[in-house]
């Protein structure tokens, strides 16, 4: 926990883990983490969104008429504000632009084999750089949170990623950057179709949303996939609010953590899309992590 400053937040983590080690059977030690903005950087746009924008731009290059509408126009013009605005509006209750974006995104990988999609994701991470931090996306993980994952694992916690981001976008890299295997990644997902012939089969992505793992869907997915109520949860936005509410029984130890992006010098400073969760953190006494005050370092080289 060397990347955490000494103070109330670090002490709360250590005291929680000590109590759990005394009182909670290891099989009940379940921890869930959001990903975007909690484990890795999400500004000026989601990392997955960069992956998507590049593919939308490729489609416009092949068919310029697509640029007559969104989101292809924004991809063609490099208008990242439109994409970021669609997500922010979603967390403020307006899904108008998000539905337009989702329809285009779902069509991008129609009938692509899941392994081929994973290979494309791997190529993206091998080459792509963050547009303002000027570091590889694989180096845009938050050092204190990665340390926290390992600290919990050392105390017999089973750590899961539960994200609104794409399950099949995260899985190719989570083992490498977090030590989280693919089977512990819960996220949004496109539909899948099995096709087989001559004793062999493949899974193909379909142009339809299977799961949108956000907001009140997160607790549902946690129960469906894990079958236990977590006793630790970390998030950073309104989309994590219900997951934090669901964490911990009323008569047992729990830690609900909200990462507050308040460090414009080392990362970014923003509250848009997190207003409700921040209000609940104050109202219910959840642990709010100040990136500026609680983290000795944000990224590790």
Question: Which tokens go with 179?
Answer: 């030590």
What is the rounded distance in angstroms from the CA atom of residue 275 to the CA atom of residue 104? 29
Q: Enter the pTM of the model.
A: 0.92
Do 6 and 134 meet the contact criterion of CB atoms below 8 Å apart?
no
pLDDT of residue 301: 72
What pairs with residue 192 in β-bridges?
Answer: 205
What's the confidence (pLDDT) of residue 104? Answer: 85
Q: Residue 148: what pLDDT?
A: 98
Digits of tens for pLDDT over the chain (301 positions)?
999 999 999 999 999 999 999 999 999 999 999 999 999 999 988 999 899 989 899 889 988 898 888 888 888 888 878 887 887 888 788 888 888 888 888 888 889 999 999 999 999 999 999 999 999 999 999 999 999 999 999 999 999 999 999 999 999 999 999 999 999 999 999 999 999 999 999 999 999 999 999 999 999 999 999 999 999 999 999 999 999 999 998 889 999 999 999 999 999 999 999 999 999 999 999 999 999 999 999 998 7
Output the pLDDT for position 290: 98
**Domains of the chain with CATH codes:** 8-40+135-294 (3.40.50.1000), 47-108 (no CATH)
**How crowded is the C-beta side of 185, counted as CA atoms within 13 Å?**
24
> What is the H or E stretch that residue 273 is in?
none
The pLDDT of residue 239 is: 95
User: How many residues does the structure list for the chain?
Assistant: 301
User: For residue 116, what are the contacts with CB-CB under 8 A and spacing of at least 6?
Assistant: none
Residue 85: predicted pLDDT:
82
Q: What's the pLDDT score for residue 83?
A: 83
Distance CA 110, CA 267 (A): 35
First to last CA, the chain: 17
Question: For residue 148, what are its two tokens?
Answer: 């926290």
């Amino acid at each position: 926990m060397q990347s955490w400053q000494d103070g109330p937040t670090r002490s709360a983590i250590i005291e929680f883990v000590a109590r759990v080690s005394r009182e909670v059977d290891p099989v009940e030690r379940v921890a869930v983490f959001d990903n975007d903005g909690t484990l890795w950087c999400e500004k000026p746009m989601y990392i997955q969104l960069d992956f998507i924008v590049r593919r939308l731009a490729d489609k416009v290059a092949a068919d310029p008429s697509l640029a007559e509408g969104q989101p292809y126009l924004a991809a063609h013009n490099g208008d990242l504000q439109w994409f970021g605005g669609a997500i922010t509006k979603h967390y403020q209750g307006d899904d108008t632009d998000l539905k337009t974006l989702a329809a285009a995104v779902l069509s991008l990988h129609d009938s692509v084999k899941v392994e081929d999609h994973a290979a494309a994701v791997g190529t993206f991470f091998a080459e792509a750089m963050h547009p303002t931090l000027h570091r590889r996306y694989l180096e845009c993980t938050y050092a204190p949170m990665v340390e926290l994952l390992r600290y919990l694992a050392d105390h017999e916690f089973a750590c899961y990623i539960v994200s609104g981001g794409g399950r099949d976008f995260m899985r190719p890299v989570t083992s490498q950057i977090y030590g989280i295997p693919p089977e512990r990644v819960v996220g949004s997902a496109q539909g899948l179709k099995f096709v087989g012939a001559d004793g062999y089969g493949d899974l193909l992505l379909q142009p339809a949303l299977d799961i949108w793992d956000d907001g009140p869907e997160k607790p549902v997915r946690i129960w469906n996939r894990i079958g236990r109520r977590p006793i630790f949860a970390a998030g950073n936005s309104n989309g994590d609010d219900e997951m934090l509410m669901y964490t911990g029984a009323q008569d047992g130890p729990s830690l609900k953590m909200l990462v507050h992006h308040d460090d414009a010098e080392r990362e970014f400073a923003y509250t848009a899309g997190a207003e409700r969760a921040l209000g609940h953190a104050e109202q219910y006494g959840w642990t709010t992590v100040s990136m500026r005050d609680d983290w000795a370092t944000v990224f590790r080289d």
